[in-house]
Structure 1
Amino acid sequence: MGDSVQKTITTWYVDPDAENRMSDGHAPIWRHLIDVMVERDLSEKSVLDFGCNQGGLLRHLHAIRPFRKALGVDIAEQSIARAEALKGNLPIQYAVGGTVEGWVEEFDLAISHEVIYLVEDIDTHAADIFKALKPGGVYYAVTGCHTDNPLWPKWRELVAKRTNTVVQDRSISDYGRTFAKAGFEVSGRKLEYDGFIPFVEDGWTPDFADALDYYTQTKIIFRLVKRLG
């Protein structure tokens, strides 16, 4: 991948407290994502969480749909250390890095949540995930951070200010074309989160109406299938 992706960082957020709060905010979305995933029985499956941060998504996934083994990868060193500390006896391995190069046909399922918009070389990322999946494997890539988001001009400034990452400008169609070019069968849906959305004035959504629209309309899930044969 590009140089900025290969470099590691300490934490995603400039404010370490924001890093620790991120898991609490994402947990209901993770549970909703797990609920809409087509794959139900993961007991014999291997799972990749790309951009796993502190490992919360994999812990939620194992509690709801236990998997055989998993790998969590992230460029944030302290986040991976925290994930290791929290994993207990779960069958999860963690690694610091911005690529899964070297993993070939290892995973049945891959997931990324709000990560692909920060990947500089999205073509290489798509190719890496494709190679890492077994034939028939599936990649769920979730993001609301795209140029079709009406809040994007404001958000890209906040991402630059509040995080230690470099944001990329891409549309939903840009992602679709990239993943199709990598060989995936591409489909998608709106997240359509159906739980109650908390009223939080944190700068990301200027009005509560924006938050309601974001979680029900703007945030999307790509389902990317590596075809058999």
Structure 2
Amino acid sequence: MQRSGTISTWNRNPADEEAMGAAHAPIWRRMIDVSVPDDLRDATVLDYGCNQGGFLRMLYDRHPFRAGVGIDIARESVARAELLKRQRPIDYRAGNSAAALGHIFDYAFSHEVLYLLPDLAVHAADMKAALRPGGAYVAAMGCHTDSAVWPRWRKAISETSSIPIYDHSLDRVAKVFSETGFTVSVRPLALDAFMPVTVGSEYFPKIVDQLRYYSQDKVLFRFVRSP
């Protein structure tokens, strides 16, 4: 995101792109459980970096909202999201600016997007312009320099990603959003589910890596726009 133009897909391997939604579903459920109010019937919702649209579909099926928009720079992913939305009140668009959508949102979400952005200040300003005063942006982030697995992950992700990746610390993220006019809070994702174990995983060579990642390294930021 946050760069001119669009790309075809995030992952160079189409099969991995298709599998991304199923792999992320337990994380999305946890994000929703700990950060979403029960009543969204009058709310407008944004998913920044929506990929194939699975998060907004899951959110609507659990907590119906008035309208939702998903934005992503991956054209084929957005086209796939449009095909899968059915009758849900969601609009998926290819692009990189939330403010340019022409909506003011009550809530915004992103999952593992921040480490793909070269300029966090530009993103924070963009999200501020797209949110109403008091609106909340919840961003999941496990790919950061404070994570024990990041040195290994950075290399692995770089080999499959269609765009560059960046080294951001949790403190840097908090500082930028605070300076942009957000109240910043954070909590561990603390995934409340059994996690499938893949023997020989490139990302989690040891089970303890996986346990630590989901209980400590992967966090949810909540940025609330100041009045």
User: Where on the TM-score scale, by shorter chain, does this alignment land: which range?
Assistant: over 0.9
RMSD over aligned Cα atoms: 1.3
Aligned length: 226
Deviation at 1:43, TM superposition (A): 0.6
Structure 2 residue matching 1:6: 3-state secondary structure: coil
Shift of 1:202: 3.5
TM-score for the superposition, normalised by structure 2? 0.96
Q: Which residue of structure 1 lines up, in the alignment, with residue 161 of structure 2?
A: 163
Counterpart position of 1:52 = 50
- 1:29-73 C-alpha deviation (Å, 9 max, x unpaired): 101110001522111000000000000000000011111001100
> Are 2:158 and 1:182 aligned?
no
Q: Between 50-59 and 34-43, report the one with greater CA deviation.
A: 34-43
Q: Which residue of 2 aligns with 1:207?
A: 206
Aligned counterpart, 2:223: 224
Question: Could you say if the C-alpha distance between residues 140 and 84 of structure 1 is closer, same or farther in structure 2, counting changes exceeding 3 Å?
Answer: same
Alpha-carbon contact 1:14-1:162 (below 8 Å) kept: yes
The residue number in structure 2 matching 1:135 is 133
- For residues 7 and 69 of structure 1, what CA distance do their matches in structure 2 show? 26
Aligned position for 1:96: 94
Aligned pair in 2 of structure 1 residues 165, 157: CA closer, same or farther (>3 Å)?
Answer: same
Aligned equivalent of 1:64: 62
Q: Which runs of 5+ in 1 are unaligned?
A: none
1:23 aligns with 21
Q: Judging changes above 3 Å, is the alpha-carbon distance between structure 1 residues 145 and 58 closer, same or farther for their aligned structure 2 residues? A: same
Paired amino acid for 1:226: R
Secondary structure at 2:159 match in 1 = helix
Counterpart of 1:86 (choices 84, 109, 118) is: 84
| Residue pair 1:75, 1:98 contacting (<8 A) in 2 also | yes
Deviation digits for residues 92-143 of structure 1 (CA, Å, limit 9, x no counterpart): 0111112223246610000000111101121110000011001110000111
Q: Aligned equivalents of 1:116 and 1:105: distance in 2?
A: 21
Q: Could you list the runs of 5+ residues in structure 2 that have no partner in the other structure? A: none
Aligned partner letter, 1:132: A
Residues 194 and 216, structure 1, Cα contact 8 Å, conserved in 2: no
Structure 1: 4+ residue segments shifted above 4 A = none
